[in-house]
Structure 1
Amino acid sequence: MRSVRARAALGATVVVAVALIGAGLAVLLVLRANLTDQAGLQAEVAAREVAGRLALDVPYGQLDLPDVAEHPVQVTDEDGRLVAVSKGLKAITGTRTDRVTPHASVAPTSTATDDGGDDDGGGDRHGGENRGDDDHANGNTPARGEVSTDDPDFTNGTATVGGDTADYRFAAVSATTGAGVTLTVHAGAPLATEQKAVGSVRGAMLAGLPVMLLIVAAVTLLVTRRALRPVEGIRAELAAITASQDLSRRVPEPGSRDEIARLARTTNETLTALEASVGRQRRFVADASHELRSPIASLRTQLEVGAAHPDLLDVPGAVTDTVRLQALAADLLLLARLDAGERPGSTRLDVGALVHEEVSQRTGDRIPVAVHVMPAAPLEVMGSRGQLARVVGNLLDNAERHAESSVTVSLRTEPDWVVVAVSDDGPGVPEPERERIFERFVRLDDARSRDEGGAGLGLAIARDVAHRHRGTLTLTRAREGGASFELRLPMGLAARA
């Protein structure tokens, strides 16, 4: 399934199906347990009624047993012999014995074990009335039995009545006669009601489950379709942007505050950044082409003139154009590496020594550079020596180009930072233009000739390198009135310690 809607509907349907099946099984188990307990209670009541009569020494043959279909009853003695049973009971299982006829050695009208003698219906000890008369004649109160108050034992079994076999819940209750004979009464209650109720509930659940799952699947499809409709709009607009290559277009943003709305806003922010990046790239290519065209055209003109008139060849001018072209190509190459994400090195270096080395190599500058190092300890940072030297050189070139009489480099430390400040006493930079000069190919003095000014890449390269070293490069006004560029670099671990 490649559709999110289909997967969501399937997942929701499976989850609901599992939940419904689990809940249905729990309901069926609870219902069956409750109905079985009710049947057991009914069986216990019937068994205690019969046990109560036995405790009163009612003869076996005179026991008023319940309807055999409702409550089949068996009475057994201590030896497990069947002494009484419901009439019409054809077969039984689940009780102490499966016999359905009383044992032959037990008198049908007796409530005690016969020790011998003939039972002629007279005043022997097996007759309840005569025995009572004898007891009263002797001045004794007749002994009475009792019914056990313990919880009965419950079992499940079957009983056959009139050719029909059904399931029953049996309860076993003990009773003791007045003669001390312990009897066990097994009385059953039918489980047909329980089985019918459980079957009806199970059938209703099985019939309703597919309908419920279809409803869940349909609702899930509708909800996910409505929820994913903005996503389809975003996808369609992105496809149109890709086809037209018009980065000025934006995807629709839903009015909600959910994840899809945040996705649309993030997509539009990405498109904005991409449009700006493509714009910068196009301007960079155009400016680079323009900057390269001038020295190449000048060099070509000089070479063509020299080829036609060797005596008119301006060798110093050709060398100057070649040097300028070489420097511009190096700047463009460095910017390309920076844009590609090149990481600076991790060499530990002393910024003070690097600045002194750069200043010592500038022997041909029109204005000497003064260096002031405030702390005596080494100013160590981590980074690329070549790139940081390029930053210092670009800042010095910019200061030499605009200074009137002095260029100063000062080094100091701040908490966790090493600060290199390059200041001059030139005209300075207007505050609204102090960020614009860090853009590529930007030169504020349009009247300056290209030979005297750079291509507008030095400060852009310096800021990019500073950022790559997790530092900053800012422009403020110098005390002398000119521009002051401050390069902040994170202090190395050793110097910080």
Structure 2
Amino acid sequence: MRRLFGSVRARATLGATLVVAVALVAAGTGLLLALRASLTDQAGSQAESTANRVASQLVSGVGYRELDLPDGEDGRPVQVLDAQDRVVAVSEGLERISGTASDEVRPYSGAPASDGAQDRDGEDPEESNDRDDRADDEAADPEDRERGEISDEPVHSDGSATVDGESAAYLFARIDLEAPDKGELRVYAGAPLSAERSAVDTATTAMFIGFPLLLGVVGGVTWLVTRRALRPVADIRQEMAAITASEDLRRRVPVPGTHDEIARLARTTNVTLAALESSVERQRRFVADASHELRSPIASLRTQLEVGAAHPELLDLEGAVADTVRLQQLAADLLLLARLDAGERPGDARLDLAALTREELSQRVADRVPVEQELVEDVEVAGSRGQLTRVLGNLVDNAQRHAATGVRVTVGVRDGSAVLAVGDDGDGVPEAERERIFERFVRLDDARSRDDGGAGLGLAIARDVALRHGGTLTVRTSPAGGALFELVLPLAGV
């Protein structure tokens, strides 16, 4: 199970299915509620219509027995109650009722037969005389005759009834009225809820059957679409596994023909592989060149020591010391490059570039040509004192090897940056080779001996240190016609 849901395709399918399920449940619930409310309102309207029709008859003076009430075939029970909640009229075929003010289905024994007029036998004489007087008054003055009133606000209630032997749920509408000669009455008329419940049940059944099928379709389509969308990812993974197994960094992952995130991932992966291939190749060349450069002084030193051991009088002590110094310098250069490649941070110590330059140049005693200085004071930079000193030394050493009559070192500020420039009056650097000379173990003076030309690491170290300090190191033609190396560093605190 964990392996299954560890797949992006499985999680995407599950997520899409859950979202659709929630949406379907919400939509289905809303649909059922809306359907139920609509059908209930329809039943309420039917019940109100029946109640209003009966109430209109009562107000117009129709007697209880003369009321036009629905019969059993209509399936709409009607019950008329007086002010004491006694049944005075009911629809035909009503056998049982609930949800109204009375559960009686027959008029009470003393209910008037018609027109609200009771049988005068046994009637109280005073009540008979009062009624006769009222009748006379109404006949004498028709304008004053009391008119009936029907309430404009029906009241609904749920209940049930049995009509002609069939029981069902009903929605009852109650209409309050006041009729002439009848007093206050209440009319209850019911409309069956069977249609509403049948429609809701049918819709619910359809949802229970349709929703799982729809979710299955959504899940299947999502699974297939996700599988197709992630197929390039599987191809990229397989190719990366093959590259790792074969260690062949020349291979590249396939790039799909789409323009989506996966295609950009593939292109980025190929760029990364190209950079890794270049880095590994550069590392291989570095190791090979370092081995070659170390082999020469070690072999020379060993030869001199062996000769000196066999013939002490033939020992070239100065040559052995020179080879040892060269070996020491080469080892120091290789160690510094290794630290730079490992990401050694230069630090953030504040340094006066002019003071550092003056101090370094004052310690040089074996220069071939004189060094001219032009230093602007208080040019502060942040970084490693040892690394910046090494850069200055490498640039001056390079200028000493190529200068004809002199070297010029300047320190100043230009465009908000500190600038250290080392120029000579030698042959200069061809424009086509101005970037290549900063590669490791690259020398443009191959015709000269290694002792004079160096190992080809000085400028590479200087460029790496400049980049680590957030600056640049470039070369162009000096005013004297030779090479002019410019180290540009950000000012401290800027």
TM-score tier, shorter chain, comes to over 0.9
1:98 and 2:103 are equivalent in the alignment: yes
Partner of 2:234: 232
Partner of 1:387: 387
| Cα deviation, residue 15, structure 1 | 1.0
User: Distance in 2 between the 1:150 and 1:136 partners?
Assistant: 27
Partner of 1:445: 445
Is the 1:254–1:261 Cα contact (8 Å) retained in structure 2?
yes
Is the 2:138–2:145 Cα contact (8 Å) retained in structure 1?
no
Partner of 1:47: 51
Deviations 1:452-488 (A, max 9, x none): 1210000000010000000000001001000000000
User: Distance in 1 between the 2:130 and 2:459 partners?
Assistant: 129
Partner of 2:315: 313
Partner of 1:490: 490
Is the 2:477–2:484 Cα contact (8 Å) retained in structure 1?
yes
Cα gap change, 1:450 to 1:185, in 2 (>3 Å): same
- 5 Å matches for 1:82-481? 82-109=87-114, 111=116, 118=122, 138=140, 140=142, 143=145, 145-179=147-181, 181-373=183-375, 375=376, 377-481=377-481
Cα gap change, 1:283 to 1:380, in 2 (>3 Å): same
SS in 1 for 2:450: coil
Q: Which amino acid aligns with 1:13?
A: T
Is the 2:75–2:163 Cα contact (8 Å) retained in structure 1?
no
User: Distance in 2 between the 1:438 and 1:205 partners?
Assistant: 74
User: Distance in 2 between the 1:227 and 1:439 partners?
Assistant: 43
User: Distance in 2 between the 1:179 and 1:415 partners?
Assistant: 111
Aligned residues: CA RMSD: 2.3
Deviations 1:375-411 (A, max 9, x none): 4x40001100000000001000000111111100011
User: Distance in 2 between the 1:462 and 1:131 partners?
Assistant: 131
Deviations 1:59-85 (A, max 9, x none): 223222112462111112223232222
In the alignment of these two chains, the number of paired residues is 486
Farther-moved stretch of structure 1 (38-47 vs 134-143): 134-143
User: Distance in 1 between the 2:488 and 2:142 partners?
Assistant: 121
| Cα deviation, residue 105, structure 1 | 4.3
User: Distance in 1 between the 2:229 and 2:328 partners?
Assistant: 58
Is the 1:419–1:487 Cα contact (8 Å) retained in structure 2?
yes
User: Distance in 2 between the 1:43 and 1:132 partners?
Assistant: 36
User: Distance in 2 between the 1:251 and 1:23 partners?
Assistant: 45
| Cα deviation, residue 116, structure 1 | 7.1
Farther-moved stretch of structure 1 (387-396 vs 362-371): 362-371
SS in 1 for 2:245: helix
SS in 2 for 1:451: helix
User: Distance in 2 between the 1:399 and 1:146 partners?
Assistant: 123
| Cα deviation, residue 290, structure 1 | 0.2
| Cα deviation, residue 110, structure 1 | 5.5
| Cα deviation, residue 106, structure 1 | 3.3
1:6 and 2:20 are equivalent in the alignment: no
Deviations 1:318-342 (A, max 9, x none): 1111111011001000000000111
Is the 1:135–1:141 Cα contact (8 Å) retained in structure 2?
no
Farther-moved stretch of structure 1 (96-105 vs 31-40): 96-105
| Cα deviation, residue 149, structure 1 | 4.8
Q: Which amino acid aligns with 1:242?
A: T
Is the 2:478–2:484 Cα contact (8 Å) retained in structure 1?
yes
Identity among equivalent pairs (%): 60
Is the 1:57–1:144 Cα contact (8 Å) retained in structure 2?
no
| Cα deviation, residue 92, structure 1 | 1.8
User: Distance in 1 between the 2:139 and 2:290 partners?
Assistant: 141
User: Distance in 2 between the 1:132 and 1:49 partners?
Assistant: 28
Any stretches of 5+ residues in structure 2 without a counterpart? none
Cα gap change, 1:424 to 1:180, in 2 (>3 Å): same
Is the 2:70–2:92 Cα contact (8 Å) retained in structure 1?
no
User: Distance in 1 between the 2:325 and 2:171 partners?
Assistant: 110
| Cα deviation, residue 433, structure 1 | 0.3
User: Distance in 2 between the 1:396 and 1:8 partners?
Assistant: 63
